[in-house]
Chain A
Amino acid sequence: MNHKLKRAAVAAAVLFCSPCLPALSAEAPARTELAWTLHYDPKTLDPAKVDDQASEQIRFLTAGVLIRLNRSNLSYEPALAESWNVSTDGKLITLRLRPGLRFSDGSPLTSADVVATFRRVLSPATAAPVAEEFLDPGKVIVDAPDTATVRLHLPNRVVGIASVLDEIAIEPANRITSGAVTSGPFYVAEYKHGEYIRLHRNPFYWKRGNAGAALPYADDLRLDFLENTETEELRFLRGEYALLDHVPTEGFSTLARRMPGVTHDLGPSLNTEQMWFNQSDRAPLPAYEKVWFRDTTFRQAVSLALHRADIARIAYDGHATPANGFISPANTTWYNKALRPVAEDAQSALALLAAKGYRKQGNQLLDPAGHPVKFSILTNSGNRSRERMASIIQQDLAVIGMQVNVVTLDFPALIERLMHTQAYEAAILGLSNVQPDPSAMMNVWLSSSPNHQWNPEEKSPATPWEAEIDKQMRAQALASDTKVRKAAVDRVQSIVSEQLPFIYLVYPNTLCAVSPQLDGVQLSVLQPDVVSSIETMHWKGGRH
């Protein structure tokens, strides 16, 4: 009996340990392939219909565009179009294609393909999100006087037309291939839902490297869909992934400790983290709360009471920069250098509030009508940095007598409150800025926009300063002179820092990790970050 039990014990131990074995033996990557992760499946592979970040990255890797934004120096460079010309009124754009262009299947790329692509993108049937950037897409006329020239006739000037062209992938005429045939560096070879997408090198890509070698250098790309950043980091450490973009703060420190030299903190990104109060008329809040939130002094006092340096140091482990406006210092062209860092002074905050009739009774702040100042701050669950930030703010505001309840909700429930029911008091969220051009933020700043978070879809600007922001944002969108645009954007930044519709907290730093075996990497804070230099990236000792 005992022998049988012993044998069974050994068998059980072997059976128990056997599933561990695959976990212990990491699979070595094929060196001709570069692999990294996307956190979720792309919503679409059709480049015309891209409206999420995962699809944007696939489009970046596969799309042949007429003009490409250089993510390192923020300049626009010729791509499929070897030159372009914008008329003085901004309504005619003439583009000259490079000679001998081919799609990834070897078929020639001519102006007919470009015209067909634009017509499809502009057609209401396609519902391409990028079409909205033409302001009046139905009235745009595209023609091709010859096989190498394309003309765009616009009803109105489109500021930042180059950035719009950077988003339009030229596809074969009358064939929707969803990335299977492209004019960009790679094409889609295989897609398994929830697992991975594999891209092959386009052998007919037009671009050449420094020594005249054909780009891209990497033969294959594999993008695994992984939500868990810890798994991602572990696989990177095992050498299964070539790079990590958007490393979370906690993971960054661990990576830096475990594998020194692979991590890169590129400084402030274009993104912002901000807090705001609900000022909407539609908000189902007591009238006295609306009075607080609409009071500039109240918002200024809150801003003064916050310790942004602590937020950057504690919530982001030092990998964030205290913020003072909606344009990050990383956006060198548009950042208003005249803005001063926000002071951190609870006593000044209390003095400001006292001047408005607020008073402290014990540890509780009371408004002039005697209501205790209590409110909730809403944020999304699962983001550790944001949750910590909310806790820090909770304590900072307790110092000036404001009682704050932090509530974390899952994203759909949060969006319902922020965008539909307006049933919230204050919120903390971030804003991802893909484009450095402030025109891309029009939807946030125009008072009529649904993304004008603190008071969405205003019929007319609720305050004079909102009217002024509307005016300046429209002025910068219509002006052709960069200096005029810059002056308008600077003015908006000044108004925002004074009125504080958004109380900016930090600019999270761009954190990435790159395998030491990888060459040809150029780091960039603009999305898609480290992937921006995919054309030149290759394993050391590999083909280039």
Chain B
Amino acid sequence: MRFSTLIFIGLLGALAAALLLGSSHTYAAQDREHVSDSGSRSYLAGTDELGRDRAVRTAAALLLGLTGACVASALASSLSLLLGSVAALSASWLGRLLLYCGDLFLTLPWIFLLMLVRSALPLTLPPVQSGVVTFLLLAALGAPSFLRLTHERVSRLDKQDWRLHAHAMGLKKSQSGSQLLSHLWPIFWIQFLLYVPACIIAEANLGTLGLGIAEPVPSWGNMVTGLQAAALTSTSHLVYLPVVTLVLVLVALELTIFGAKQ
């Protein structure tokens, strides 16, 4: 199961790359005579509201969005794991302080920080670089959401028998860290999977503030946001293609973890 789903994601990625390389259309080219077209021989999945090839754009969005969101999610989950472990294993005052900071962090409207970052960046920043900045910010902002959960899990693990045995055998806390880490993989994966779609949506919302992957470079975020208007005006079900690929990838990721568990 694990290998088959991994192969599926790999195939999806390869298909996207092949589409991008093999298509005669680029993701930004507008064919103004074929706006909001349904599928045809020239445009397999039709065109969007500006006459751009939907299949090519979805393929590019898949590669860019998934990579960005996965990296940001992995960074956020790792950071959360690190902070949660520090909070659980260090002196109680430090743990409490970290949890306190995490709670404070969640109450603040970070949208303004993102606006500040936008105002500090040059307006001529290329869309892809703007996307990288966005995903890095998302990684930093996402970590505290899971801090409390990680802290609870690590605290619980710390009180388990094998930890006591290890300590009784003379192992320092830091030395038994690698064993602890292996027990934290499930929580890491949950956080990772929860945060991947959150990153994609957050990227789309940040696009409205001038951050995120800007047009004409496609991202799942801006395509899903555009879907709200496209679904209203288009009669073709192909407008749902970006959402379908997104769901396919997420289901495949989930099944990969399921396979690993088996």
Touch A–B, Cβ below 8 Å: yes
Interface residues of A (CB under 8 A from B): 230, 250-251, 253-254, 307, 310, 313-314, 317, 374-376, 378, 381-382, 384, 387-388, 390-392, 394-395, 405-410, 413, 416, 423-425
Q: How far is the CA of A314 from the CA of B32 in the complex (A)?
A: 8
Given contacts A250-B232, A381-B210, 11 further A-B contacts (CB under 8 A): A307-B32, A313-B32, A314-B51, A388-B50, A390-B215, A391-B215, A392-B30, A408-B208, A408-B209, A408-B210, A424-B123
Can you list 15 A-B contacts (CB < 8 A)?
A250-B233, A253-B233, A381-B208, A390-B215, A391-B50, A392-B32, A395-B29, A405-B124, A405-B127, A406-B214, A407-B123, A408-B210, A410-B208, A413-B119, A424-B123
Contacts of B29 in A (CB 8 A): 395
Query: Beyond A250-B229, A254-B232, A395-B28, is A387–B215 a contact (Cβ under 8 Å)?
Result: yes
Contact A408 B207 (CB under 8 A): yes
Q: Is the CB of B232 within 8 A of A405?
A: no
Q: How far is the CA of A313 from the CA of B29 in the complex (A)?
A: 17
Contacts of A408 in B (CB 8 A): 207-210, 214
B123 and A425: CB pair below 8 A? Answer: yes
User: Contact between B126 and A314 (Cβ–Cβ < 8 Å)?
Assistant: no
Contact of A317 among B50, B209, B233 (CB under 8 A): B233
Indicate if the CB atoms of A405 and B51 lie closer than 8 Å.
no
CB distance from A290 to the nearest CB of B (A): 15
Are B229 and A384 interface neighbours, CB within 8 A?
yes
- A405 pairs with B125, CB closer than 8 A: yes
A230 in contact with B30 given A381-B208, A387-B215, A405-B126 (CB within 8 Å): no
Contact A406–B215 (Cβ < 8 Å): yes
Query: What A residues does B49 contact at CB under 8 A?
Result: 314, 388
A283 to chain B, nearest CB (A): 12
Assembly CA distance A394 to B30 (angstroms) = 10
A310 to B124, CA, bound (A): 25
Is B232 within 8 A of A251, CB to CB? yes
**Contact: B50 with A392, CB < 8 Å?**
yes
Judging by beta carbons under 8 Å apart, are B32 and A382 in contact?
no
Question: Are B30 and A391 touching (Cβ within 8 A)?
Answer: yes
- Tell whether B136 is near chain A: CB-to-CB under 8 Å: no
Q: Closest B-chain residue to A416, C-beta based?
A: B119
Chain A, residue nearest B50 (CB): A391
- Contact of B12 with A by CB under 8 A: no
Whether, in the assembled complex, B35 has its beta carbon less than 8 Å from a beta carbon of chain A, the answer is yes
Per-residue A-contact encoding for B205-235, CB less than 8 Å = 1, 0 else: 0011110001110000000000001001100
Chain A residues, Cβ within 8 Å of B215? 387, 390-391, 394, 406
Across the interface, B118 reaches (CB within 8 A) one of A395, A406, A409, namely A409
A409/B210 in contact, CB under 8 A: yes
CA–CA, A384 to B208, complex, Å? 11
Judge if B115 is at the interface, Cβ distance under 8 Å. Answer: yes
Contact present for B30 and A405 (CB under 8 Å): no
Give min CB distance, B65 to chain A, whole Å: 18
Measured in the bound complex, the distance between the Cα atoms of B170 and A491 in whole Å is 93
On whether the beta carbons of A382 and B208 are closer than 8 Å, the reply is yes
Report chain A residues within 8 Å CB of B126: 405
Give Cα A388 to B226, complex, Å: 11
| Given contact pairs A388-B50, A394-B216, A408-B210, A374 touches B124 in the complex (Cβ within 8 A) | yes
CB distance from B216 to the nearest CB of A (A): 6
Contacts of A391 in B (CB 8 A): 30, 50, 215-216
